[in-house]
Amino acid sequence: MGITRYDVEENANFNVDFELLYISKSKFENDWHSTAHFHPFTEIFFITNGSGNFHLDDNTVNVSKGDLIIINPNCLHTEKSNTGKDPLEYIVLGIDNLSLVHHDSPTLVNSEDDNKNDLYKVIHPDNLGIYLNLIDPLLISEIENKPLNYELVCKSLITLIIVFISRGESEDVDLKENSKEHLNLECMKIKNYLDSHYSENITLDKLASISHVNKYYVVHSFTKQIGVSPINYVINKRISEAKNLLKTTNYSIRDISSIVGFSTSSYFSQMFKKVTGLSPKEYKLQLK
C-alpha cells in the first residue's frame, strides 16, 4: 500500500478578523439613479454581465463582464451602466476591517495617502466564475437559510475569495486588516458633529445623512471604533459639560439641563446620577 503524506506548515500570512456586512445583486434598469458616496468599509464588485463605468475618486474606469473591482474605505465612487441591450449587472460584497494594499507601498491604503490608485483596484481575472461559484449559490444560500454554523461557512467562503484574489494578483496587490490606529472618516465626521451639536436634538437619521452610510451601520461602526454608541456618547458629552457648568456658574439645575440638551430636568438628573453616581445637587454640594 502506497501512502503519500502532506504536512501543512503553519506560516500563513493571512490572519484578518474581517466581517461580511452584506451581499447585494444589482442590475441596471431605467430607475437606477446612483449618486457618489463612500463607506467606512471595503466593497468588492464582481461584474456579472453588461458594461459600464465606475467613477472612482477623480477617475472614470470602464468595466465589463468578468471584471472585479476592489474599492477601499473612504473612496468616493458611483457606478453607471452603458445604454444598450446588455445592462450592467454585478454582485457586491461589503466587508469591514479589510483593505487593499499595493506591494510597492507599505502604507495601508485606508490611511492618509496621496496615491489615488491605492483607493481602488480594477482586476481582470482569468475566470470570474471561480469567485461567483463561491458566492452564488453557496454564500447567498447560507445567508438566506441560516443553517447551523452558517456564519463560519460564510467567513470561510469569503476567506477563500480573498486568498484567490491575492494569489491572482500576487505581484501587485494584497488584502490586509485595516489599521486600528485611526478612526475611519465616517466616525470622525460623526464624532466631530456630536462634539459640536451635542446640545441639539440628534437622530440616527441625521448621523446617517452626515456619514452617507446606513443608520444601523452608524451605530455598529461608531460603537466599534469609539467604544460607546452615538447616543451614549452624546449623554456622556452632555454630562461632562453639565459638570463644568455646575463648577463654574451659578445657573440653576433646570437651566443647565436645558443648556446641555436634556428635554427635562428630571431626565437630566436621572442621567447625571447614572453617569456620576451623584445627583446634580449632590455634585454641586460636593464642590463647596
Does 145 lie in the same domain as 188?
Answer: no
Does 188 lie in the same domain as 88?
Answer: no
Does 237 lie in the same domain as 108?
Answer: no
Q: Which three cell numbers stand for residue 278?
A: 451623584
Give the model's pLDDT for residue 83. 81
Does 203 lie in the same domain as 96?
Answer: no
Give the model's pLDDT for residue 181. 45
Alpha helix stretches (DSSP H) within 11-149: 129-133, 140-145
Does 166 lie in the same domain as 30?
Answer: yes
Does 276 lie in the same domain as 259?
Answer: yes
Q: For residue 64, tell me if it sits in a domain.
A: yes
Q: Give the Cα separation of 172 and 245 in Å (integer).
A: 56
Residues 6 or more apart whose Cβ sits within 8 Å of residue 88 = 27, 28, 47, 49, 50, 51, 52, 63, 79, 80, 81, 82
Give the model's pLDDT for residue 106. 31
Give the model's pLDDT for residue 69. 94
CATH number for the domain spanning 161: value is: 2.60.120.280
Does 88 lie in the same domain as 190?
Answer: no
Last residue of a domain, one of 177, 193, 228: 177
Last residue of a domain, one of 117, 145, 177: 177
Q: For residue 247, tell me if it sits in a domain.
A: yes
Q: Which three cell numbers stand for residue 25?
A: 445583486
Give the model's pLDDT for residue 23. 92
- Asked if residue 137 has a cis previous peptide bond (ω within 30° of 0), the answer is yes
Domain range for 80 is 19-177
Does 160 lie in the same domain as 50?
Answer: yes
Q: Give the Cα separation of 249 and 188 in Å (integer).
A: 31
Q: For residue 10, tell me if it sits in a domain.
A: no
Q: For residue 5, tell me if it sits in a domain.
A: no
Q: For residue 9, tell me if it sits in a domain.
A: no
Query: How many domains, the chain?
Result: 2
Does 203 lie in the same domain as 166?
Answer: no
Does 72 lie in the same domain as 56?
Answer: yes
**Predicted confidence (pLDDT) per residue in 18-62, tens digit:** 888 889 999 898 767 677 777 778 899 999 999 999 998 878 999
> Taking the model in full, what pTM does it have?
0.61
Q: For residue 240, tell me if it sits in a domain.
A: yes
Does 228 lie in the same domain as 150?
Answer: no
Low-confidence residues of the chain: pLDDT under 50: 104-117, 171, 180-182
Does 118 lie in the same domain as 228?
Answer: no
Last residue of a domain, one of 177, 196, 227: 177
CATH number for the domain spanning 227: value is: 1.10.10.60
